Amino acid sequence: MDISLVIPLLNEVESLQELSDWIDKVMSENKLSYELILIDDGSSDGSWQKILELKKTNSSIKGVKFRRNYGKSAALHVGFQMAVGDVVVTMDADLQDNPEEVPEMRRMIIEDGLDLVSGWKKKRYDPFLSKNLPSKLFNWAARRLSGIKLHDFNCGLKAYRLSVVKGIEVFGEMHRYIPVLAKGSGFTKIGEKVVQHQERKYGVTKFGIERFINGFLDLFTVTFVTRFGKRPMHIFGTLGSLVFFLGFLSLLFIGIQKWFFLRHDMHGSLVADNVLFYIALACMVIGSQLFIGGFLGELVSRSSADRNKYQIEEEF
């Protein structure tokens, strides 16, 4: 099969018929075999009934209905497990992503040898202050921390080689950072394509400003997990040792200073009256806690079931 389209949705009953017809038209014109995996993430507006209706006239449709709303990452995880196409494409169900982009994104995967192609909504039809500006700040921070030069991490329109989606685990709210997860798993051939952004035709957006706050928090999480998930002692142990050593040097300085004053019968303040003394103690306590935290993290990591799970590209 050429393409698996994985589309999470929540209360998008109005757009499903048009989206399905549009995708089928594009796939037929380009002579591409496909499956359309629709993940109903706990809709309450009749979306599932619409999916069942669409299935009667389009055998390429597969559907999954969650008992309640679990979030986009959970929907993508289930969709990725079901996908069998050589190229897996994700897009939103609100008609803001253009299916006409899919054949070219597939070509970039198959012919150009990329592992992942991310859409870039260069021209957006969203409010500037509530969406565009926070999105620009978010993407800037993501580029700096991840080292991946993408303009639009949060674009739902992405294409993946099948081995990519089978080799990563999407959890929590990490759908924004699939390129980072992919890079951490060794899929480093990541490209970008400018895609057309459509104005929302039906319904309202399901995301608020809080997604950017959560996005920044998740960015630090995924950066830590991909870099130090199997070696937490390298970060906590290093920081703990550094902070402890600074505290120890401060206490040593205070001790030498006090000894010098006593040796020369000079009047000096009590050690307990010196604010540096308490800063030094705090540094030593915090440093010890960081070191112990890294040690415990190392024990947990070494006892985990996937401690020796590695991405193998090929073998003979």
| Residue 204 confidence (pLDDT) | 63
| Residue 140 confidence (pLDDT) | 85
| Residue 295 confidence (pLDDT) | 84
| Residue 171 confidence (pLDDT) | 78
Q: Cα torsion at 289, 295, 296, 299 (round to 10°)? A: 180
| Residue 309 confidence (pLDDT) | 58
**Alpha carbon of residue 48 to chain centroid:** 27
Architecture of domain 3-228: Alpha-Beta Complex (3.90)
Residue ranges, the chain, pLDDT below 70:
124-132, 200, 203-212, 215, 229, 268, 301-316
Can you give the length of the chain in residues? 316
| Residue 26 confidence (pLDDT) | 96
DSSP labels, 54-109: HHTT-TTEEEEE-SS---HHHHHHHHHHH--SSEEEE--SSS-B-GGGHHHHHHHH
| Residue 220 confidence (pLDDT) | 74
Q: Which of 134, 235, 130, 227 is nearest to 176 (CA)?
A: 134
CA within 13 Å, CB half, 239: 11
| Residue 289 confidence (pLDDT) | 92
Distance CA 51, CA 40 (A): 9
| Residue 231 confidence (pLDDT) | 76
| Residue 224 confidence (pLDDT) | 75
Given a contact cutoff of 8 angstroms between Cβ atoms, the answer to whether 150 and 190 are in contact is yes
Distance CA 190, CA 180 (A): 10
Which pair of tokens denotes residue 294? 């890294």
Please write the tens of the pLDDT for every residue from 111-157: 999 999 999 988 766 555 556 677 788 788 888 888 888 988 888 89
Distance CA 261, CA 269 (A): 10
Distance CA 146, CA 68 (A): 33
| Residue 89 confidence (pLDDT) | 97
- Domain limits of the chain? 3-228, 233-303
* DSSP3 helix / strand / coil % (the chain, rounded to 5): 55, 10, 35
